[in-house]
Amino acid sequence: MRNAFRELLAARATHCPLGSWVMSASPIVAEAMGRAGFDWGVLDMEHSPLDLLGLAQLLQAVGCTPMAPLVRVPWNETVLMKRVLDAGATSLLVPFVQNADEARAAVAATRYPPEGVRGMAGMSRASAFGTTPNYLKQANQGICVVLQLETPQAVAQLDAIAAVPGVDALFLGPADLSAAMGHVGELTHPEVFALMQQAAQRCRQLGKPVGTVGGNPAAVQRYREAGFDFVALASDLGLLMQSAQAGLAALRQNGAAPAASSGY
């Protein structure tokens, strides 16, 4: 079975897939982001008010656009991941994976037996409500798994995590990584950036795609030059706030300009 996000990763040598985050939990905004030209977008269930029904609605909205959805689940938890897959997600971003055992658990949660432990359902959005021929036998081939490394301890286990069968790509989370390194809020601190660059270079050596996120175009370009294969630019809410604040600042040149948002 085809997987749109995996196809983007396969073409990374000639085209760096550029994405963004969908934090608004709004189907209308998600659809607009899908029409803006992004190759992929993270539908975020970890740090947004998005619930399972809302996820299904976002997948419907993005499904009519060229943007490939990557669903970030709140945690590496088997039952939750089963429900997200049943809702129609085919590419998952799993946060805070620390070692190979946790990587294997994440992959197993996305696979039907005997390759994994995903519970079978004959009637779900994932199978087009039972109309996809041989869905239960073919579904495993169409699931893409991306694992987030968010601590120095996880980065130290990069080789072992990358070697787990079924792990399609890795993702370095600069916010949590910077906090774990004692540089809270300093996402591009030299020590943080150096570790991320080392991780990206090691992934290149292993042939494993690796991604990250930058808050502005300059940060995204710096990550691309450091060796990251796919990079997200901010988020729907981040881009909204940046544009709104810039517009207000321009109109209030003779007064105090609002502080620029530093978030994604």
* Other C-beta atoms lying within 10 Å of the C-beta of residue 179: 17
Establish whether 47 is a catalytic residue.
Answer: yes
Q: Pick the catalytic residue from 15, 47, 183, 189.
A: 47
Residue 170: closest CA among 194, 151, 148, 195: 148
Q: How far apart are CA 105 and CA 118, in angstroms?
A: 11
210-214/169-172 β-pairing: parallel
Q: Give the tokens for residue 158.
A: 């990069």
Classify the C-alpha dihedral 210-166-159-173 as positive or negative. Answer: positive
Instruction: Round to whole Å and give the CA distance between 242 and 165.
Output: 40
What DSSP character marks residue 260? P
d(CA 69, CA 145): 12
Per-residue tokens: 134: 């041989």
Q: Which residues contact 108 (CB under 8 A, 6 or more apart)?
A: 78, 115, 116, 117, 118
In whole angstroms, give the CA distance from residue 140 to residue 108: 10
Give the active site residues: 47
